[in-house]
């Protein structure tokens, strides 16, 4: 069982549409990070959210951290083919014995067609 | 831009052989992670270090895997003996402050035949 559950697993949309990816857990995180991975490369950090309820915007991408620090969402407005990739959420647990451990969700494969 | 360097990029080896993967973290970063990625399991945490000290290697099969940081510029992941089920992409990542995110290398694609 994954510590972080991402949904949906796969998303295929047309250019110009909006999309939202969800990342949920029953655990509390000190921070939650979003990465994008393209074929043959390692994940690349998009954003880190730290404060419960925090919202961060990165051009057409909006990231939100839940008030209870257990969940997060990524919203893309007017998606473009360049947004295609595997989106991964990752959380840093707050428990004493695993301080600093970064654990990943299974990822959401996003395909944006022209 | 500073980057994490992993070598080799690709490795094909026969079952039973020893495999060593290397990672050069970004200079000044004090935390290093090793992950394994497969289609079935996604990104699995194998081990991580802070200030070169191992903090957690509970994700590694202890009988065949070992991870070390002989110095601040080098992290190694060794498999001995290798098995076909070890075929995966192995990633190294480094960072300084946990809440600021981490930088990943391009990975080592390992195939054990």
Bond from prior residue into B81 cis (ω within 30 degrees of 0)? yes
Nearest Cβ partner for B50 among A41, A98, A100: A100
A32: closest CA of chain B, how far (Å): 8
Q: Is B31 on the interface with A (CB under 8 A)?
A: yes
Among chain A, residues having any CB pair with chain B shorter than 8 Å are 2, 30-31, 33, 35, 40-45, 47-48, 50, 88, 92, 98, 100-107
A31: closest CA of chain B, how far (Å): 6
| pLDDT score of B16 more than 70 | yes
- What percent of the residues of chain B are helix, what percent strand, and what percent coil, each to the nearest 5? 5, 55, 40
- pLDDT exceeding 90 applies to what percent of chain B? 81
Give the model's pLDDT for residue B9: 97
Give the model's pLDDT for residue B64: 96
- Three-state secondary structure readout of B1-32: CCCCEEECCEEEECCCCCEEEEEECCCCCCEE
Give the model's pLDDT for residue B101: 85
CA atoms within 13 Å, Cβ hemisphere of A25: 29
| pLDDT score of B27 more than 60 | yes
Tens digits of residue pLDDT in A64-79: 999 999 999 999 999 9
Average confidence (pLDDT) over B64-82: 96
Confidence of residue A60 (pLDDT cuts 50, 70, 90): very high
Give the model's pLDDT for residue B55: 87
Nearest Cβ partner for A100 among B4, B31, B35: B31
């Amino acid at each position: 069982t994954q510590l972080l559950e991402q949904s949906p697993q796969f998303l295929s949309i047309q250019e110009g549409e909006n999309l939202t990816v969800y990342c949920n857990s029953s655990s509390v995180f000190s921070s939650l990070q979003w990465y994008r991975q393209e074929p043959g490369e390692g994940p690349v950090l998009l954003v880190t959210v730290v404060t419960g309820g925090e919202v961060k915007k990165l051009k057409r991408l909006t990231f939100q951290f839940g008030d209870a620090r257990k969940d997060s969402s990524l919203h893309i407005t007017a998606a473009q083919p360049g947004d295609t990739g595997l989106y991964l959420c990752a959380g840093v647990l707050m428990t004493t014995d695993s301080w600093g451990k970064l654990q990943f969700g299974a990822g959401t494969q996003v395909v944006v067609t022209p | 831009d500073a980057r994490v360097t992993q070598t080799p990029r690709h490795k094909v080896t026969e079952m039973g052989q020893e495999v060593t993967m290397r990672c050069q973290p970004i200079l000044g970063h004090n935390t290093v992670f090793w992950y394994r990625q497969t289609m079935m399991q996604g990104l699995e945490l194998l081990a991580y270090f802070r200030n070169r000290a191992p903090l957690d290697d509970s994700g590694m099969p202890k009988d065949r895997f070992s991870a070390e940081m002989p110095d601040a510029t080098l992290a190694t992941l060794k498999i001995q003996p290798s098995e076909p089920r070890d075929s995966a992409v192995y990633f190294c990542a480094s960072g300084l402050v946990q809440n600021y995110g981490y930088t990943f290398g391009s990975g080592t694609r390992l195939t054990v035949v």
